Structure formats: C-alpha cells, structure tokens
Amino acid sequence: MQAANLFHQNFAVAESLLQLYQIFHGLKKADLKDELRLAVCSHWGDPPHAVVHPACNDRVMVLARSVAPIPEALTSEGGLDFLLRQAVVVACTSLEAFFWDVLRENVLTIVKARPRGADESLQKLTFTLGDYMSIQQWGDPDERLRQIILKNFERGTLYNTASIDRIAGILTVPPKQYWELVQKVSGEDSSQLNRKVSDLINRRNQIAHRADRPSESETPDGLGLRPITFAWTNSHVQAARTLVTASVEIFTQAMARLESDIRAAEEQALARKLAAKRETKEIAAP
C-alpha cells in the first residue's frame, strides 16, 4: 500500500524531531578547557586566541564560533519545546495524509464494487453528462473516473477522530467495527488509542490555530505557552503510528474482499454473455 510507505516517510520527520529533543535537552553553556579550545581552533584553522562558545549536557557537546553563536533556545529552559510541538504537527499531518491517500488509492475499487451498506456519500454519487463524456474520451477511462470521484471527497483537516470514522466508513469499514479491529490488530485498548489520537489532533489544532497559547484556566509555561513534555508527546505521536499500522492491515483486507467481489461479478457477467451467445447460435441453427 503506497499510502503506508508515504506515511512512514512523513512520520520519520516527527521521530527525528523527538530524537533531536532527546539529544539537546538540558544543554547548558559551559566552560571549555584551554587545551580543548586550542585543539578546536587548530582543527578549524582559526588563530589560537579565537573565541569558542561551548554548551553541553550528559549526551552531547556543542562548540560554535563567535560568528555563529549557539541559539539561546538550545540552552534556555523550555527553549526546545518547539521541537515537541512540531513533532505533534508533523505526526497529525502524516495521519491526515495517510487516510486521504488510502481513499485516493482505493476509491475506484470501492465505487466499482458498490457494496451493500456502502457509505451514504457513495450511494449518492452522481455524474454529469460532461463527466460521462470525458470518461469515454479519456485515454485511461479508469483514471478519469477516479479523478471525478475524488472531486466528491475533498481533502480536509482532521478536527477529531470522527473524521477518521467517516473515512473508514467510506472504505467500507463501519466505525464501530473499525475500532474493534484496531484493538484486535494492534493489541492495544481501542478506547485509549482513540483518546490519545483525539488528544493529539486537538493539540495540533491548538498549536496551528492558537500558537499553543493556554486558556484562562490553564497555567502557562515559562514562555507563556501551554506546557508540553517529551513523555506526553512521544506516547501520543506513537499512538498515531500504531493506528496507521493497524489501519493498513484492516483496509488491505477490506479492499481485497471488494476486489474479489469485483472479479466474481466480472466472471458471472462473462458467463452470462457466453451463455447468451450460445442460446443465440442454437436458435439461429436450422
């Protein structure tokens, strides 16, 4: 499933942001021993009296020339929290893109199968005369049909998990069944997973639309923003990956069933066509 590959490529950025936070968290300005400073100046080709700005924690040391000083955000309290907020945004964007890409990949199969109990948006799908004519004239009619169908499913923002339920329904997996399958496939409690993904989406919306400013009832951090921690971010970002991993298996199986139904219908149609030809020949025979 191409949607899964694209998700993992996008999601890797969120993981990199979390790794950067872990590496640089707790970085403080420090004093540099003279012999180390001289060795660094020699390595850079700078004069022995050149200024070197050091900062370190128990995992890494950062050395910078005076012309490119270490950003205050790296050494100030809460200065690296922007990495956590960006990880939230990237994880949600990856989640949105995944569900849209799955729909884009499989919408033609869903429409061709026209399963019983299909989502209302599929049952009410209509085509104009212009759509029909463009399908007939297109080099690849199926590709043109897919384009027309996708116009009816505009890509939107995930404002809550109800958006995920709606897409799952279009993909022929009713919401209640979808979350039951998610729990079965992932081995995690679906209600907790749903809550974590919902909280992740809500936090992304607050970051994107309110710059993560706290409400009047919330206590801000040292920068005047809603507090955020690595533990919270990591657990909720990983919940998004767990949901997608389970969804890949669920939707792959659902599409496989539809494709099987389509093949069976095509075989039955071919058999009826051949039977009709035989009957015509028998009637025409003297």
Residue 102's contacts (CB-CB under 8 Å, 6 or more residues apart) are 1, 3, 167, 171, 247, 251
Buried b (16+ CB within 10 A) or exposed e, 85-98: bbbbbbbbbbbbbb
State how far the Cα of 82 lies from the Cα of 100, in Å rounded to an integer: 27
Q: What is the pLDDT of residue 176?
A: 92
pLDDT band at 284 (very low <50, low <70, confident <90, very high): low
pLDDT tens-digit series, residues 136-159: 667 776 677 666 666 665 555 566
pLDDT band at 129 (very low <50, low <70, confident <90, very high): low
pLDDT band at 282 (very low <50, low <70, confident <90, very high): low
User: In percent, how much of the chain has pLDDT > 70?
Assistant: 83
Q: Residue 169: helix, strand or coil by DSSP?
A: helix
pTM: 0.82
Look at 91-95, 111-115, 121-125 and tell me which has the smallest mean pLDDT: 121-125
Single out the residue of 186, 218, 188 nearest to residue 203, CA to CA.
Answer: 218
Which has more confidence, 249 or 216? 249
Angle, helices 141-150/129-137, rounded to nearest 10 degrees: 150
- Write the CA distances from 35 to 49, 165, 284, integer angstroms: 12, 62, 105
Single out the residue of 26, 14, 19 nearest to residue 97, CA to CA.
Answer: 14
pLDDT band at 69 (very low <50, low <70, confident <90, very high): confident
Residue 117 has pLDDT above 60, yes or no: no
Residue 64 has pLDDT above 60, yes or no: yes
pLDDT band at 216 (very low <50, low <70, confident <90, very high): confident
Residue 40 has pLDDT above 80, yes or no: yes
Single out the residue of 167, 175, 199 nearest to residue 101, CA to CA.
Answer: 167
Give the HSE-up count for residue 50: Cα atoms under 13 Å, Cβ half-sphere.
21
Single out the residue of 42, 83, 78, 39 nearest to residue 61, CA to CA.
Answer: 39
